[in-house]
Each structure stands twice: as structure tokens, then as C-alpha cells.
Homo-oligomer: A and B are copies of this chain.
């Protein structure tokens, strides 16, 4: 959340929208978590909220990073990185599948492939928007922050690999089902 607020102040609802698109690439959270966490971060002085009155919408509380929040981010980056825990239902299904499960498994992999395609298309749009006409090289050498572009690159590479893997698995499944 602190990292997301670097891109500008936001209310809980707006943050949850950001998480749906760009941030979901590397961090997922439900709106409920965000609201709870905002209270805590404000209590710890890492963010500061103010009420913005709106005419035709319910009022909202907009949160901005404080100086302490920025320092917390620097400290976080300097800390040892926790190893990432992977938990993927689809791989469990694949691991456990026997002959009778193959058609259901095939369907699950087609869905995963479709999701990967959609994410890839989304990332490509975000990338074009982020570059805004400049070349990748220009953006990376001259831009202020290279982070958002490189995380997006990571997301794209991840989904491309995902597609290749789905293709390989579907290939095997079709041979097993068909032949």
C-alpha cells in the first residue's frame, strides 16, 4: 500500500481499484484488507488521511504518504527479502490427476490460458500508457522511477511463460485424451 501511494494519494476505494489492475501483478488484497490496513498505517503515522467532500458522491478519506511512510519504504527495501510462498491450485490438480480427471483438467488449463492472454493484453495496454510514446530505452535511462515499468515487464514475462507452459501441458493432455 505504501508503494502504491507513491503514485499519488488515494482513498481506500481508489486503492482497491489500483490493486485490481496494476498492483495485482505482484500483490493481491481485498478491499476489506485495505480499509483495515489504512487505519493501522494512519495509527502508525505512515500515512495521513484527510476528508474530501464531494457533491454528487459520498465523501471520501484520501490518504497520502508521510515522511515516516517514505522512510519505512526505504527500510523495507534494505531488509532481507522474504522468500515467496507459491500456492497454485492448478498445479495441485495437475499433480494429482489420473486418467479419469483429464477432461476436467483440460478445461482448467484452457481457462488458465485464457486468463493469461487477458492479463497479457492488459499489461500491454498499461505498458503503452506508461511509455507514452517514448522508447523503452529512453524511459529506463531518463525516467525518474524505473520500478513501475520493470514490474510490468516482470508481469508480462511471467504471463508469457504461463502461456507456453499451458500450451505444453494441453499438448500432452490432448495426446492422452485423443490417442
Contacts and interface: CB of A to CB of B under 8 A. Distances in A.
Interface of A: 2-3, 6, 24-28, 73-74, 76-78, 81-98, 100-101, 104-105, 108, 111-112, 115, 140-141, 145-148, 150-151, 153-154, 157-158, 160-161, 164-165, 168-169, 172, 175-176, 179
B151 A3 contact: no
Name the prevailing secondary structure of the A interface residues. Answer: helix
Copy number of this protein in the oligomer?
2
Contact of A84 (B90, B98, B101, B104): B90
A40 B36 CA distance: 31
A91 B172 contact: no
A151 B26 CA distance: 22
